[in-house]
Structure 1
C-alpha cells in the first residue's frame, strides 16, 4: 500500500511538471529567450521616442512571448500596436530574434534611433503615420532580410539612401508623404521581388530610373505628386502583373506608351496631368478587368470607342479635361456597374444617349459641344448631373427640372449684353452671413456632389463642381470648423468651406462690363497645422486658380500661405476685366499634394468665400432685374391659376415671410421668401408650390421698407427665428398655395409686431397702431386685426391664428389688406399696412399625394422672381428695430408659472396625447420608472413622439416639472433631445419629446438586443455627446449642468446621431446665480466624488460621468457587472488597472472586428482624464471635443485616482439619486426613485454619500 501511494505521488508530480511545461509553452513554446542585444536595442528605441512599450518589453522580462509568438496574432491586427513578432528557431531553438516591428500611427515624434538598424533579422517594419524626422541613413541597408517596409506619412528628409537597394528580398516599400529630396535611387531597381511600391508625395524628383524596368513583379505602383521629368517610361508596360497603377501630378510628358496595352490585369488605372504628346484610348482596349478608369487631364485625343461598352466591370470612368471629340457612345451609358461618369471639358458633340442604366447616378458632361433635346431621364430623382457650358435645346423644359441651366449654357446667355449687376459675394459651403463691414455673403450650402451645379435665386452667380475623391468612403464636399481665426473679424465666414475633388468654378452672371477686383478667401480647416506634432498635420493641399481663364496661382497652398497656421485666414485679390457680362473663377486640382491626410480624399480645391467688386462707378444698382422683365412663373398666376389645375400635386406648404429657410423645432421646413418685393411685385417658388404678390407704395416715406427684421427672442415660442423677419406691404399682400390637392385645410398665420414698439415703452414710438384685414379664400376672417393688441400689447410675444377653409380648384389664396386703418407714421413714415411672419397650410384629410415636387433631378436654383412690367424698384432694405423686453413679475399659480417662463413650450391637451398613445396602450410603453411610464405616440400631424406621463404620486412636483421644461426649452442643439411641448391639466403632467427609434445607448451597447455598433459609429456617438455637453456648459444662453449623464440618458435617432436626454436633473446657472435649484441627484457609477460626498456641483460633474460613458462605448459593457470576475467587475477600476499595465487593448469590446487603434487609445486616455479625482484636473468639454477631433493632444494622465482604492461599491439594490432610471430602462425610460430615497448632504448625517451600500445604476 505504501509503495502504491508513492507511485501515485510520483505520477502526480510528473503530471504537474508536464502542466507547468505546457503553461510555459503557452508563453514561449520553445523555452527560447530573446537575444539580449535586440532586447536592449528595442528598449532604447522606445526610450528615445518617449513612448511606453507594453509592460513585458523590458530587459528583465521576456519580449518574445505571448502575442509576439502566437500565430493567431498578425501585424495587421489593429488591437496590437505597438507589436513585435519573433522567430525562436535560432541556435537550436534557444534564441528568439525580432522579425516584425510595428509602431503605426502612435504620434511618435523625432528621429529614427540608430538602434533600429541593429535589428538585422527584421522582415517587416511598419513606422507609418508618425512624425519621424531627420534622415533615413545608409544603415537601412543592414536590414537585408527585410520584406515589408513602410515609412509612409512622416516628416523624413534628405536623400533616400542607395543602400536601400541591398534589400533584395523586399516585397513592399512605402515612403510616400515625406519630405525627402534628391533623385529616385536607381538601386531600388535591384529589389526585383518588389510587389508594391509607394513613392507618391515623397519629395523625390528627377527621372524614373531605367533600372525600374526590372520590377516585373509589381502589382501596385503609386508614382504621384512628384517633380519627375521625361516621358512616361515605356518599360512600365513590362509590369504585366500590375493591378493598380497611379501616375498623376508629375512632370511626366506623353504620349502614353503603347506598351501599356500589356497591362491587362489592371483593375485600377489613374493617369493624369500629362504634358505634351497626345494619346488615344487604343491602349486600353484589352484592359477588360478595369473597375476604375481615370485618365483625367492626360492629353487624350480621338473618340471614345463604342467597344467601351464591353468593359463590364467599370464603376468609375473619368476622361475629363482632354481633347476627345465625336459622340458619346450609347454603350457607355448602359454599363451595368457604372456609377460615376466624368466626360467634361472635351469637345464631344451630338446629343446625350436616350437610355441610361439606373446605376449611373453621377454624370458630368460640362464644357463640351453637346446639343439637341435632353432625354427624359434627366428628370429622374437622385441623379447628379452637370450639363454646364453646352448647347442643349432647353425650350419646353419644365423650369423645375435643371432650373437655371439656361444661364449656364455656352457663352452664359442670361443678361448677356445687358449687365444688371455690379458685384456679388458668396459664403462658400455656408449660410448667408453679414460681415462686420456690412457686406452680405449669400448662402451657398447646396449639397453639391460629384457632378453638380447651382444657380442663385436671382441669377446673380452660379457654381459648378465635378470630381470624386479617390478611395474615400465618405465624399465630403463641405468642410466645417468651430475655430476662431486670429486675423479677421469675420471668423464665421471661414467656419465653412466648399471642397471639390477635381474642378470647382464660380461664375458672376449678368455683370456690368468693366474692371473688377476679385477677392478669394481661404482657411485650411480640414488639414491640421504641421506644428501640431501629429501625423494629421503632415498633409499638403495644392491646387491652381484661374480668373477669367488666366492662371493666377500655381500649386496654391492655403496653409503654407497662412504661415503654416490653421487659425489664420488667407485673402487674395486679383484684378480682371469683364467684357461679355460674365466672370469665371476656376479652382483646379492638378494632382498635386498629399491624398490621404488626415483622411482619404483630403485634397483638391478648398475655398471659404468669393466676391467681386467693380473698379469703376457702376451704372446699375446691383439689385435683381427691374420688376417685370423676368416674368418666370407668371403663367401660374394668371386667371384661375392654371399651373397643376385639376391635378393637385401638393398637400401643404410653409413660408417664412421675409426671411430665409428655417426648420422649426417641430421639424417643419418653412421655405425662404426673402426676395426684394417692392411696390408692384410677385414671386413664385421654384417648384411652383406657392407664390406671393405685393402692391402698394408707403405714403410720404423716403425709405420704402418691405421687410422688417428683429433680433428679439419671443417668450411664447421655441421658434423665435421665425418671427425675426416679417413681410410688409403698403396696400395688399397675397400668398397663394398652388397645385394643392382639393379638400379641407387648416391655414395658420403667424405674426409678431417687430416694427412698432409696445405702448408701455414710455416713448412716443410706442404709440403707433397697425390694423389690417385678413381674407382666406375670399372670406373675411379678421377685421381691423392688430397684432400687438392681440399679443397683449407685447412686442416679444408671437401671435398665431388658425382658419379652416376649403380648396376646390387646387389653389388657395390668403389676402392681407390695408383698409386705411391705424396710424401712418409711428415710429417712422410708412409704418402701416399688413405685416406677417409665417404662412402655412396643412390638410385636414389624409392626402393622396406626397407633397414633393414633380419627379426631377437635383434642384439647382432658388426662388424664381417675377416682376410687374414698367415699375422701377423703389426700396432699400432697412431694419428699424427697437426691442424692449419686459421682465415679468413672478406669479404663483401653476398655469402662470409655465406662461411666464422665458421660453414657453407648445401645450398639448390631455385628450390629444391620450389619442396619440391609443389611450396609453401598454403595447406603446417604452419604459417604466419611479415617476411613471413613457409611451410612444403618434400625433394627428403624423409626428411620432415619446410621451412621459408623470404619475400623480411622483415626487416630481410642479417646480421640478417646470424646471425640466425650462431646461430643455432653453437649448436647441443637434445632440440634445427636442422637447415638442407639455401638458399640464389638473393632475395630468406630461412631457412630449421627439421619438428616437434606436432607443438608448445602454440598450444599443449591452441591452437584450444590441445594435452591434461599429467602431466609427461609436466614435461619432462619443463626439456627438461631447458636443451636446459643450453646448450645455458653454454655449447655451443659460449654462446648464446636466447632473445625470449616463448611457441610458443618451438616445439614438434613425441615423444613430446621439442626443442627450432628460434634463429634469439639470441645474442651470449663470455665473454664480442659480436659476433653477434641485436636490443633489445622479446615478451611482457616474457620480463624481466631490458631488457624491459634498454635493459640490460644477460642469466637471458631467465631465466625470462622460468619462464613464466613454469607457462603456469602448468596452461595450456597463460600468459595473456582477457576472464578471472581481478584477473586471467595476469598469473604471479595471480600465485604470489595465492602463497601469499598458494593456488597454484588453478593454476593447470583443464584438468589434475592426477599429482604429489610435482613436481607441485617444478615447481611453480622455476617459481617464475625465475621471480624475480632482475636478480641477478634468478637462472642459470643449477641450474634450478638441482632443477627440485630434485638434489637440490628449493630455498626460496623472496617477490612479484614490477613490478607486479607498471605496468599494457593494451591491444591494438598484438606486438612483433623485434622478432618472436605474432599472427596467427602455428606449426612453426616465424613472425616478421612490419617495424618501434621496440622499443629499442635508439628510446624510454628514457621512460620505458613498458610504452606504448602493448599486451602480445604469
Structure 2
C-alpha cells in the first residue's frame, strides 16, 4: 500500500466513524425528553426542524456521544440553543437528560422559574441560562451538580439569596450579575468551590459588608466583581489575601474608609475599579508592588492628600482616572516611567502646582484632563511633544500666558478638543495664531479676555464647537463666520459685541440641511465637557461633544439691527438665544421653518409687531421667551404654546391671549383693553357698578373663607387647586370639573389631583425630565414614596371628554413588559395629564449620548438586551393593539433599574387628533428617524416604525446620534454614513470604540439587521416580528 493509499484509507475510516457516530440513533428517553421540552417552547423553527427528523442526534443544537459503548444508543451530551429566539418555559422533562454535559439556552426569551429537577443532571459541566427572563429563586435547582464547572445566570430576574447553594468542587466560573438577588454578602461559595476563578455578583441588591473572604484566600480567584450593589463599610483585610486577583471591581457601592497599605499584596492586579464610593484619606504609597497594574479608576470618592509617588512604578499603567476627589499638592509624579499612559484624568481635585514637565515623555497620551484644580503657571513648551494628544482640558485653573500656550499646543497636530475655560484672566486674545488643523472643539469662555474675535479662528476649518462666552470681547462678529462649514455650536454670549448680526451666520451649512449633518467628533472618553449658558455662568455639563445641541448663543451683548429673515434657513438649529441685546424690527415669520427648535429666547430687546401665529408649528419648542419687548397682538394658540408660563410674554403690554389677558375683538384686530367708546361712557353708573361688584367680591371671599374653615373641620384637604396652577380660574371652570382616573395597575390607588400638583411643584420647570412634540414630562414624587412620570399633553384638537377617556383606557390595556405602563389620566381645566410608571434609569438617549460614563457602562450584552426588549415592545404594539408608534427613537426607549427597555409615547397621536381618517405625520417624527417615504406620502406605516427602529440599532452600534450636526464634505447623516462605510468595506470603523472587539461577529450580525430595517424601499423592510426573531438568534460570546 502506497503512502497515498494509506492516507486515503485513514481519511475514509475517520469519515465513516464520524458518520456512524453522527447517525447512530439517540437514546429514546432522551428523544422523548427533548420533544417534551420543545412542546413548551414558542418557536416554530426548532419544532419543525426537530419534527422532520427521527434521530435526535441530528437535531439542530443537539450533540450526542456513545460513552464508549458502541452497541448502545447514543446519549445527548450537549444542548446548545443559544440565541434561537426561544420563548416559553423550561420544561421539567429537561431534567431527564441525565447524560447532559453542556446546557446553553442563553440569549433567548425564556421565562418562569428554574426547576429543581435541573439538579438531576449529574453530568452537567456547563450551564448557561444568561440573558433570558427567568425569575424566582435558584436554591435547590443547582444542588447536586458536583461536576459543574461554569454557571452563567446573568441578566435574568432571579431573586433570593445565593449563599446556600451547595457544594461545587469543580466550579471555575460563577456569574449571576444583573439579577435581583438580595441579602447580605456571603462568601461560602469559596469554601464549597475550591477551584473557582471568576466570581461575578455585580448589578444586584446585595448589602452589608464584605465579610468572610478568608474562605477565598486559599483559592486562585482571578476576577472578583461586586460593583453596582449597595455594599457598605470598610474593605476587610481578608480582601487583600486574594493574591491571585487580576480584576477587582468595587464601583458604585457605599464602601467607605481608608485604603489599606495591604493593597500591596495584590501584586497580580491588572484592573482596579473602585469609583463612586465613599473612600477617603490618602492613597497608600504601595503601588510599587502592583507592577502589573494597567487600569486604576477611582474617581468620585473623597480621596485626599498627594498623588502616591509609587504610581510611577506601575510601568504598564494605561488608564489613571482619579477625578472628582480632593487630592492636593503638586502633580509631581515621574511620568517618564509611564510610557504606556493613554488616559490621564485628574480633574476636579485641589492640585496646586504648575503643569508637570515630565508628562511630555508620555508620547502615547491621547486623553488629558487637569480641569477644575488650582494649577498655575504656563503650559510647558515640552507639551509640543504630545503629538498623540486628541483631548485636552485645562479649564477652571489659574494658568497664564494664553498666547504662549497656544504657540505650544499648535504642534499637537491631532488635537481635536481643547478646553481652556476660566484661565488667563484679563489677558488679550491673541490675533496671530497658526496650526490647529484638527481642532473640532475650542472652549475659551469665562476668561475675561479683552480684544476682538480673532480672524485666525476661521482657518480652523474642522471647527464644530466654539465657545468664547463670558469674556470682554468687543467689536463686531466677523462676517467670515459663514465660511465655517462644520460649525454647529456657537457661544459668544455675555461679551460686549456690537453691530448687526452678520448675515453669514444665516449661511452656516452645518445648520441648513440634513444632507450635510453628521459628526465625526467623538469624545466618548467619559470626561465631561462644560459650557457656560446662563446668567450666572454656571457650567452646563455634556458628556460628548456630539451631545451639544446645535446652538447659536449671542445673549447679553450690545448687538443691534434686525433679525435676518434668512435665519429660517437654519432648519437644524435647536437653540437660538438672542436675548438681552438691542435688536429691533419684527420677528421673522421664517423662524417657523426651524422645525427642530427647542429653545427660542428673544427677550429683553426692542422688537415690535406680533408673534407669528405659525410658531405653533414648532412642535419641539420647550423653552420660549419674548418678554420685555414691544410686541402686540394675540399669542399663538395650540401646540407647545399651551405649556409656556406667563413670564415668557411679560413686559409686552400689547400682547393678549389665554395665558395672560383675554383678547377683545374689534374691527381692527385684538385688544387687551376696552375700546375708546367704553371709556367715554365711564361715569356715575360705572362707579356704582364697580362698587356693587366690590361688595359682591368681598361677600364671595368671606364665603370662601367660611368654606375653608368648614373643610378644615371635616378633615377635607384644603388645597385650592385653582391656586396651584398658573391659569385664570374661569378658564379651568370652562372645561368642566377636575377629574382623575386611575387604572387597576396604578402604584398609588388613593392619588388625588392635589397630590399631582404637590408632587410636581405645580408643574414647576425644575421638575421637567423630558419634552417633545406631545408635551412636557414631569417627575412626580408621590405621597407613598414612589415616583411617577406625568406627561402634560400639549395638543389642542378639541376632543370630547368621553372620546378622550375611551382612547386613554384603550391605551391602558396595552400591557407588555417592554412598554411604559400607563397608570391613569387626569383632566384639570384645559390640561390633560397622563400618569406613567417612572423609569429609574431614564432614557437610552441619556445613556448613549449624555451621561458621563454611559457609553462605557453600556456593554454590548446590555445594548443587545435593550434592542431586543424595545423590538419586543414594538412587535406587541403592531400585533395586539394594532398601534403605529410613529416616533421610535432613543429618547422614547426608557430603562428601568435593570436596564430593561420600555417603549414610551405610543398611541398619543390618537389622543390628540382623533378625527384623522388616516395616520398623518405632521405632528410627530424626529429628525434622523423619519423614514424617507414620509416626506411624500404623509402616511405613517408599520414599516416606517421599523425604519426608525433600524436607526436606533445604528445608534447602539455606533454610539452616534442619528443626526449630529457637525459637518464636512465627507460627512453624512448616520444612515448615509453607515452605508458609505459599508460600500468602502470599512465596517470596522462603524462600531463604537467602547464595545469589546471580541463581539465583532455579533456586531456584524446586528449591523446586517439594521441595514435591512433602513432600506429606502419600505416594501423590502422586514416586519418587526422578523427583527425580533433575528435578534433572538444572535449569540453573544463571553467578553
- TM-score bracket for this pair, using the shorter chain length: 0.3 to 0.5
**Higher fraction of helix:** 2
Q: How does the TM-score come out when normalised to structure 2?
A: 0.44
**Higher fraction of strand:** 1
Q: How does the TM-score come out when normalised to structure 1?
A: 0.37
